C-alpha cells in the first residue's frame, strides 16, 4: 500500500498566535498611571458623594451659590452637568429670589417671537409699524439692534433688550473705569470693526439668556458686580457729593442686591452713550420711587401683554382707515 506523505505543517499541528502587547514597565509611566488613577478615583468619589445627597438638600445647597459657581460646577463631571441642566430653571429661580430680588424686576426678558400667538405675529412685524419704531430702534454705538423675527418689538421688549445688552457692555468696561483709562470714543457715523465685534458678542450673550434661566441669572450677577464697583468707585471720590445708595461692607460681601431697595437717587435714565458710564453708579430701569409709599414701584411683568393690546388696536385702526379709503 502506498504511503501517504505528511507535510511538515501538519506534523507541527495548528499554530496558535500567543503574541501579546509589550507592557511598559518604566518607573515614569508607572508613576503617571498611578497619578491618573488617583485623580479619577478622587473626582468620581467626590461627585458621587454630592449627588448621593437627598434631592431637596442638594437644591438648597445649589441655591446658596452664585450663578457663576453653578457654571463652574457643571465642569466637574458629566453627571453634574446633566443634573444641573435637568433642574436649571428651578436652580435659577431659587438663586434669583434670594440674591437678585431687585434686579430681577428691573431686567426682565423680552418675549421671543416664537412665544407670541402666530395670529398676532404679522401685526407685530408689520413693516409700516416697524418704520414707526425707528426712534426706539436707533442703532446705538454700544447696543446691537434686535432681530424683529427673533424678539418681540413692542416698546416694552425693545427696552428690555437694550437694558440687557447694556449690562454686558457696562461690565466689559469696568476695568477702564476702575483704573481711569479712557473708553475709546467712536466718531459719529463710524463703525469700527472692534466695536461691531464687541456688540455682536454682547448680543450673543443676551440671546443665551433668552433661552437659559441660568444665563439670565448670570447677567444679574454681573450687573450687581458692576453696580457695587461703580458705587465704591464714586464713594472713594471725596469731591463727588452727589446722592448715592448706601452700601456697607456687609452689603458688598453678601452678593445680594437688597441694599438697592433703600431710598436712593433716580436710576432709570438709559445711558445712550458710553460717555455716560463715567458718572453712572446704578442703572436700574423699570422702577420709580414712590414718596407716598416710601418704596420703589416696579413696572409689572404684564406690561408686554398691555403693549400687544396697543399693537392690535393700532392694526384695527389701520384696517378701518384702509377700508374707508377704498370706499371713498
SS3 sequence, the chain? CCCCCCCHHHHHCCCCCCCCCCCCCCHHHHHHHHHHHHHHHHHHHHHHHHHCCCHHHHHHHHHCCCHHHHHHHCCCCHHHHHHHHHCHHHHHHHHHHHHCHHHHHHCCCCCEHHHCCCCCHHHHCCHHHHHHCCCCCCCCCCCCCCCCCCECCCHHHHHHHHHHHHHHHHHHCHHHHHHCCCCCCCCCCCCCHHHHHHHHHHHHHHHHHHHCHHHHHHHHHHHHHHHHHHHHHHHCCCCCCCCCCCCCHHHHHHCCCHHHHCCCCCCCCCCCCHHHHHHCCCCCCCEEEECCCCEEEECCCCHHHHHHHHHHHHHHHHHHHHHHHHHC
Alpha-carbon radius of gyration of the chain:
31
pTM: 0.81
Q: Identify the pLDDT of residue 283.
A: 94
Distance separating alpha carbons of residues 251 and 302, to the nearest angstrom:
31
Residues paired with residue 112 on neighbouring β-strands, in sequence order = 151
- Beta-carbon-side half-sphere exposure of residue 21 (alpha carbons within 13 Å): 3
pLDDT of residue 13: 57
10-residue stretch averages of pLDDT, the chain, 328 residues long: 53 60 67 73 58 86 94 90 92 95 96 94 87 69 92 93 96 95 91 95 97 97 96 83 83 92 84 92 92 91 93 88 76
Q: What's the pLDDT score for residue 260?
A: 93
Tally Cβ neighbours within 10 Å of residue 92: 22
Question: What are the residues whose beta carbons fall under 8 Å from the beta carbon of 65, sequence distance 6 or more?
Answer: 73, 95
Amino acid at each position: 500500500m502506498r504511503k501517504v506523505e505528511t507535510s511538515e505543517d501538519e506534523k507541527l499541528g495548528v499554530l496558535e498566535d500567543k503574541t501579546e502587547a509589550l507592557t511598559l514597565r518604566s518607573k515614569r509611566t508607572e508613576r503617571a498611571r498611578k497619578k491618573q488613577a488617583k485623580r479619577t478615583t478622587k473626582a468620581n468619589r467626590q461627585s458621587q458623594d454630592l449627588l448621593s445627597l437627598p434631592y431637596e438638600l442638594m437644591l438648597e445647597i445649589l441655591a446658596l451659590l452664585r450663578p457663576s459657581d453653578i457654571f463652574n460646577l457643571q465642569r466637574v463631571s458629566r453627571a453634574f452637568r446633566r443634573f444641573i441642566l435637568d433642574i436649571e430653571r428651578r436652580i435659577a429661580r431659587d438663586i434669583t429670589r434670594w440674591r437678585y430680588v431687585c434686579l430681577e424686576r428691573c431686567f426682565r426678558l423680552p418675549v421671543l417671537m416664537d412665544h407670541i400667538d402666530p395670529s398676532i405675529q404679522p401685526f407685530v412685524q408689520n413693516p409700516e409699524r416697524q418704520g414707526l419704531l425707528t426712534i426706539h430702534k436707533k442703532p446705538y454705538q454700544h447696543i446691537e439692534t434686535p432681530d424683529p423675527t427673533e424678539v418681540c418689538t413692542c416698546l416694552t421688549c425693545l427696552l428690555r433688550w437694550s437694558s440687557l445688552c447694556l449690562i454686558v457692555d457696562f461690565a466689559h468696561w469696568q476695568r477702564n473705569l476702575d483704573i481711569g483709562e479712557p473708553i475709546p470714543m467712536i466718531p459719529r457715523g463710524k463703525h469700527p470693526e472692534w466695536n461691531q465685534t464687541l456688540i455682536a458678542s454682547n448680543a450673543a450673550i443676551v440671546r443665551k439668556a433668552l433661552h437659559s434661566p441660568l444665563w439670565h441669572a448670570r447677567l444679574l450677577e454681573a450687573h450687581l458686580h458692576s453696580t457695587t464697583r461703580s458705587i465704591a468707585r464714586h464713594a472713594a471720590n471725596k469731591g463727588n457729593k452727589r446722592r448715592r445708595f448706601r452700601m456697607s461692607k456687609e452689603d458688598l460681601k453678601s452678593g445680594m442686591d437688597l441694599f438697592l431697595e433703600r431710598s436712593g437717587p433716580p436710576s432709570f435714565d438709559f445711558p445712550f452713550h458710553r460717555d455716560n458710564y463715567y458718572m453712572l453708579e446704578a442703572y436700574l430701569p423699570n422702577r420709580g420711587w414712590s414718596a407716598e409709599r416710601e418704596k420703589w414701584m416696579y413696572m409689572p411683568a404684564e406690561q408686554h401683554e398691555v403693549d400687544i393690546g396697543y399693537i392690535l388696536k393700532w392694526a384695527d385702526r389701520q384696517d378701518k382707515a384702509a377700508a374707508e379709503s377704498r370706499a371713498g
